Amino acid sequence: MTSVLPEQSTVRESFESLNPATDEVVGTHPVHSREDVEAAVSKAHEAAVWWEALGYAGRAERLRRWKGVLTRRLAQLAEVVRAETGKPTGDAQLEAVLAIEHIDWAARNARKVLGRKHRAPGLLLSNNDATVEYQPYGVVGVIGPWNYPVYTPLGSVTYALAAGNAVVFKPSEYTPGVGQWLVDTFAEVVPEYPVLQQVTGFGTTGDALVRSEVNKIAFTGSTATGKKIMAAASERLTPVVIEAGGKDPMLVDADADLDAAADATVWGAFSNAGQTCIGVERVYVHERVHDEFVAKVLDKTKDIRGGADSRAQYGPMTMRSQIEVVRSHITDALARGGRALAGGLEAVGDRCVQPTVLVDVPEESSAVREETFGPTVTIAKVRDMEEAIAKANDTVYGLGSTVFSHSRGTEIARRLRTGATAINAPLAFAGIASLPFGGVGDSGFGRIHGPEGLREFARPKAIARQRFPAPLALTSFTRSDKTEQLVSKAMAILHGRK
């Protein structure tokens, strides 16, 4: 295993990552101190100079090789993910596959998106050659969650690397082994400098990274932590991108394909035990098709089961404490008059929560307003899509959303206050590498993925080069009255017309 610790490190503490299905110890990792983090960031600054100098083609070649390693060892990676998260290996493979697509896209498109481009200089300064290029920040600190420990942090790591930055990555304390696996495989294709390093530990290690001399922080995790990170980053005016929580709605119109919508609901709500930032947590269905839709969802739910065995469609809750949040949301929903048509309080076990479908849940319930992050879904009847849009948008969050409608999909999608919307299929935007990903409101700001994701990790650098002296000297004390009169006349012709 490649050591990511600075030589002068003084690690005293360590922690264990556990298999959530068995509590078996998967690995032991250091709790990196503030000094360790600062030393890692200092090394990263040296590495960043070398990495940037490789240029787009050199970096793309290394990223291409990394992608090859990940692809050839997909089964091994899926096993590492399964051990720390408890998710089925098929789901672990799926998130890795999507991450590989992103590495490929970012590597192939970085020059096109970030490279030097000419801009029109305008009439007054037409003697200039105007260009803009996107230069790397230097060192990016990436702080990740545990729910998709490959796909989610690599959405920042990959784009930051492709843009020419070195990265210091702090994975979730639940999935440090996955992070180490990614860093080690990267070091196989980039052995020269520690361009991608990992620091491990809890919130204090993450906080040390935010307060260190990184040039940008990319955070993915809960809204509450995102707020703390933004406050800490403000001390050094370090820019941040915040990818936080969600309460994603699905809207089902009267003309929707109800089988497809029910299938997407069941997948969107229950896969990965509902521990998906863009998981479907609430559904608004047109009254004309509501009952039929609910019947279809219940029918499909019968075949879904969470468990630690290989036949279960999803695994245990990765973070045990989330079980209490799920239980409290179901309790609140039932106490306010909601009904569990599948699952319910008895579905909440010690490690696993079975699929729970709630109806008649008042909009002010925690199950409708707060992120549940468990395999539960609320389904509500609406008069029409106007009511559905209003209810979908009545939230502090705004990450993803889904619309099922034959005739009005795009129109409805455009009116949803979320960073992305999938129409007639679940979560599709997350798998399309060219599309930006990110939120609105309490779901955060900034974008990963696509051209916007590359630009998130680079600073625009504007250059104006004078090609020949201006016929009218505007920015000189030699400027004459005649020049000023000419400028005034020219402006009247150009912009002064009524």
4, 197 Cβ separation under 8 angstroms: yes
Crossing angle, helix 55-72 and helix 151-162, to 10 degrees? Answer: 160
Residue 424 CB, shortest distance to ligand NAD, in Å, is 22
Query: Is 243 tagged catalytic?
Result: yes
Residue nearest ligand NAD by beta-carbon distance: 206
Half-sphere exposure of 25 (CA within 13 A, CB side): 6
Residue 209 CB, shortest distance to ligand NAD, in Å, is 7
Residue 203 CB, shortest distance to ligand NAD, in Å, is 3
Strands across the sheet containing 444-445: 196-198, 166-170, 139-143, 216-220, 240-243, 444-445
Q: Which of 399, 413, 433, 458 binds ligand NAD (CB under 6 A)?
A: 399
Residue 55 CB, shortest distance to ligand NAD, in Å, is 30
Contact range with ligand NAD by CB under 6 A, out of 76-84, 110-118, 216-224, 339-347: 216-224
Site for ligand NAD in 147-206 (CB under 6 A): 147-148, 152, 170, 172-173, 202-203, 206
Q: Which of 6, 138, 149, 221 binds ligand NAD (CB under 6 A)?
A: 221
Quick count: other Cβ atoms within 10 Å of Cβ 268? 23
17, 177 Cβ separation under 8 angstroms: yes
Compute the residue count for the chain.
498
Site for ligand NAD in 313-342 (CB under 6 A): 319
Contact range with ligand NAD by CB under 6 A, out of 93-101, 118-126, 241-249, 387-395: 241-249
Q: Which of 222, 328, 366, 424 binds ligand NAD (CB under 6 A)?
A: 222
Residue 242 CB, shortest distance to ligand NAD, in Å, is 8
Query: Is 352 tagged catalytic?
Result: no
| Of 84, 277, 281, 456, catalytic | 277
Instruction: Give the integer Cα–Cα distance in Å for 260 and 492.
Output: 60
Closest to ligand NAD by CB, 170 vs 296, is: 170
**Residues contacting residue 253 through CB under 8 Å, at least 6 positions apart:** 286, 385, 388, 403, 404, 405, 406, 407, 408, 412
Site for ligand NAD in 403-432 (CB under 6 A): none
Site for ligand NAD in 89-148 (CB under 6 A): 143-148
Name the residue type at position 170. K
Rule CB under 6 A: say whether 220 interacts with ligand NAD: yes
Closest to ligand NAD by CB, 148 vs 404, is: 148
Closest to ligand NAD by CB, 206 vs 343, is: 206
φ/ψ of residue 472, rounded to 5: -110, 115
77, 132 Cβ separation under 8 angstroms: no
DSSP label at residue 443: G
Cα dist from 468 to 125, 384, 474, whole Å? 10, 63, 14
Per-residue binder mask for ligand NAD (CB under 6 A), 138-157, x = binder: -----xxxxxx---x-----
Quick count: other Cβ atoms within 10 Å of Cβ 365? 20
What is the helix (H) or strand (E) element at residue 444, kind and residue range? strand 444-445
Residue 145 CB, shortest distance to ligand NAD, in Å, is 3
Residue 202 CB, shortest distance to ligand NAD, in Å, is 5
Rule CB under 6 A: say whether 244 interacts with ligand NAD: yes
Rule CB under 6 A: say whether 376 interacts with ligand NAD: no
Instruction: Give the integer Cα–Cα distance in Å for 308 and 327.
Output: 20
172, 144 Cβ separation under 8 angstroms: yes
Closest to ligand NAD by CB, 409 vs 453, is: 453
φ/ψ of residue 114, rounded to 5: -105, -15
Instruction: Give the integer Cα–Cα distance in Å for 251 and 388.
Output: 6
482: closest CA among 466, 493, 471, 494? 471
Residue 232 CB, shortest distance to ligand NAD, in Å, is 6
Site residue total, ligand NAD (CB under 6 A): 32
Q: Which of 84, 332, 370, 371 binds ligand NAD (CB under 6 A)?
A: 371
Closest to ligand NAD by CB, 225 vs 365, is: 225
Rule CB under 6 A: say whether 451 interacts with ligand NAD: no
The two structure tokens encoding residue 233: 């980053």
| Of 95, 243, 281, 456, catalytic | 243
**Residues contacting residue 454 through CB under 8 Å, at least 6 positions apart:** 106, 109, 110, 113, 114, 134, 159, 162, 163
Closest to ligand NAD by CB, 244 vs 289, is: 244
Residue 275 CB, shortest distance to ligand NAD, in Å, is 7
Instruction: Give the integer Cα–Cα distance in Å for 394 and 388.
Output: 10
Closest to ligand NAD by CB, 267 vs 397, is: 397
Contact range with ligand NAD by CB under 6 A, out of 75-83, 102-110, 243-251, 309-317: 243-251
Name the residues annotated as catalytic.
Answer: 243, 277
What does the binding site for ligand NAD look like in residue numbers (CB under 6 A)?
Answer: 143-148, 152, 170, 172-173, 202-203, 206-207, 210, 220-222, 225, 228-229, 243-246, 277, 319, 371, 373, 399, 439, 444
